[in-house]
Amino acid sequence: MSDVVLDVQNLRVEFPTRKGTLTAVDGISLQIRRGEVLGMVGESGAGKSMTGMSILGLLEPPGRIAAGSIHLSGDRIDTLDDRAMQTIRGRRIGAIFQDPLTSLNPLFRVGDQLVETIRLHTSLDKAQARERAKDLMREVGIPAVEERIDNYPHQFSGGMRQRIVIALALCAEPELIVADEPTTALDVSIQAQITALLKRLCRERGTAVMLVTHDMGVIAETADRVAVMYAGRLAEVGTVDDVVRHPKHPYTVGLMGSIPSLRKDVEELQMIPGSMPRLNAIPPGCAFNPRCMRAGPRCHREVPRIATEQSGAACWLGTQGGVA
């Protein structure tokens, strides 16, 4: 059996509007293996969350998957109906979002929420499920579990709440976790706790993780591979070392250069001039061409694609024929 947990092929997500159809995700292919963390980065609005939502089956209408396929450990899931997807979400894919309060019900004690979720996905009885809930809370690093299990969500700090959400996502031992900016609302000390936890789960349980974040430092320390998105397309994919240290795509180069350093002093930060095009105004050819210093005639005619799924840049530079 292959150890590819998530296999996304040519995913295309569209939003029909009165003024025409917007393409939020435009032909994305990615794979995540057992025990691997794939980091997803890119400009705000690039389509990271839409990709995650498609995998989770949580696209809000009128948004829809218009083309492509999504397989989870060999099973096709993008064609399943809502009910079937709901089961998959609890049992085989865990979701963690930026705001833990969207995943927790403020009116119920966290222990009861965990027990309910565990019972939904396993055959444990109530007492067994409660024991399992305590184990999970311990596993995500909640101190004094016996005292805390009957607390309400508002009685926990932001970081603890996010850990409860992770515990919820783990209830059924999913094969895949989709974490969309799980630490953006938290400060560095708590962020470090959450990312350490995700990494450990990955290592110890072989869970595959898709981690969406703006923080390149977090990516550098957590992810095995990185996917960079720009205007609904993949700009670059590769190992952390390749993408962070030897970026190939001019957008990735600009992105890495614009991050203030903890070591080097610069008078001025490197900037990418301009801003990402709106979805209804994506130029022909390479979507990055209006901002690219190295664009040539070909960049305005033909859309560059990444050669393989494992690594590479969607850019005409360095290809046969180049940008001319």
Partner 1 sequence: MSIRPNAILEVDALERRFDVSAPWLNRLIERKPRQTLRAVDGVDFTIQRGQTLALVGESGCGKSTIAKLVTGLHPPSGGKIRFHGDRDRLQMIFQDPFASLNPRWRVARIIAEPLRTLRPDTPLDQVSARVEDLLRTVGLAPADGLKFPHEFSGGQRQRISIARALAGEPEFLVCDEPTSALDVSVQAQVLNLMKKLQKEMGLTYLFISHDLSVVRHMADVIAVMYLGRIVEIQPTADLFANPLHPYTQLLLDTIPDLEAPKRDRSPMAGEVPSPVSPPSGCSFHPRCPRAFDRCKQERPQRRPEVHNRRVACFAAETTLERIPHV
Ligand X SMILES: Nc1ncnc2c1ncn2[C@@H]1O[C@H](COP(=O)(O)OP(=O)(O)OP(=O)(O)O)[C@@H](O)[C@H]1O
Residue 245-284 contact track with ligand X, rule CB under 6 A, x = bound = ----------------------------------x-----
Residue 296: CB minimum distance to ligand SF4, A: 6
Residue 211: CB minimum distance to ligand SF4, A: 25
Residue 26-55 contact track with Mg ion, rule CB under 5 A, x = bound = -----------------------x------
Q: Does 286 bind ligand SF4 (CB under 6 A)?
A: yes
> What is d(CA 82, CA 63) in angstroms, rounded to the nearest whole number?
15
Q: Does 204 bind partner 1 (CB under 8 A)?
A: no
**Residue 49 binding target from partner 1, ligand SF4, Mg ion, none, CB below 5 to 8 Å by type:** Mg ion
Q: Does 266 bind partner 1 (CB under 8 A)?
A: yes
Asked if residues 281 and 287 have their Cβ atoms less than 8 Å apart, the reply is: no
Instruction: Tokens for 223, please give them.
Output: 């992810």
> What is d(CA 117, CA 168) in angstroms, rounded to the nearest whole number?
7
Q: Does 17 bind partner 1 (CB under 8 A)?
A: no
Residue 11: CB minimum distance to partner 1, A: 22
Residues 158-197 that bind ligand X (CB under 6 A): none
Q: Does 156 bind ligand X (CB under 6 A)?
A: no
Residue 129-168 contact track with ligand SF4, rule CB under 6 A, x = bound = ----------------------------------------
**Residue 158 binding target from ligand SF4, partner 1, ligand X, none, CB below 5 to 8 Å by type:** partner 1
Buried b or exposed e, range 58-92, using 16+ CB within 10 angstroms: bbeeebebeebebbbbeeebbebeeeebeebbbbb
Task: Write a three-state SS string for the chain.
Answer: CCCEEEEEEEEEEEEEECCEEEEEEEEEEEEEECCCEEEEEECCCCCHHHHHHHHHCCCCCCCEEEEEEEEECCEECCCCCHHHHHHHHHHCEEEECCCHHHCCCCCCCHHHHHHHHHHHHCCCCHHHHHHHHHHHHHHCCCCCHHHHCCCCHHHCCHHHHHHHHHHHHHCCCCCEEEEECCCCCCCHHHHHHHHHHHHHHHHHHCCEEEEECCCHHHHHHHCCEEEEEECCEEEEEEEHHHHHHCCCCHHHHHHHHCCCCCCCCCCCCCCCCCCCCCHHHCCCCCCCHHHCCCCCHHHHHCCCCCCCCCCEECCCCCCCCCCC
Q: Does 294 bind ligand SF4 (CB under 6 A)?
A: yes
Q: Does 317 bind ligand SF4 (CB under 6 A)?
A: yes
Choosing from 22, 67, 101, 192, the residue that interacts with partner 1 (CB under 8 A) is 192
**Residue closer to ligand SF4 (CB basis): 127 or 271:** 271
Q: Does 243 bind ligand SF4 (CB under 6 A)?
A: no
Instruction: Tokens for 192, please give them.
Output: 């470090």
> What is d(CA 317, CA 252) in angstroms, rounded to the nearest whole number?
13
Q: Does 254 bind ligand SF4 (CB under 6 A)?
A: no
**Residue 243 binding target from ligand SF4, ligand X, Mg ion, none, CB below 5 to 8 Å by type:** none
Residue 306: CB minimum distance to partner 1, A: 21
Choosing from 275, 280, 310, 319, the residue that interacts with partner 1 (CB under 8 A) is 275
Judged by the rule CB under 6 A, the positions of this chain that interact with ligand SF4 are 249-250, 286, 288-289, 292, 294-295, 299, 304, 315-317, 323
Judged by the rule CB under 8 A, the positions of this chain that interact with partner 1 are 43-45, 143, 157-160, 186-193, 195-196, 199, 214-218, 220-222, 240, 244, 254-256, 258-263, 266-272, 275-276
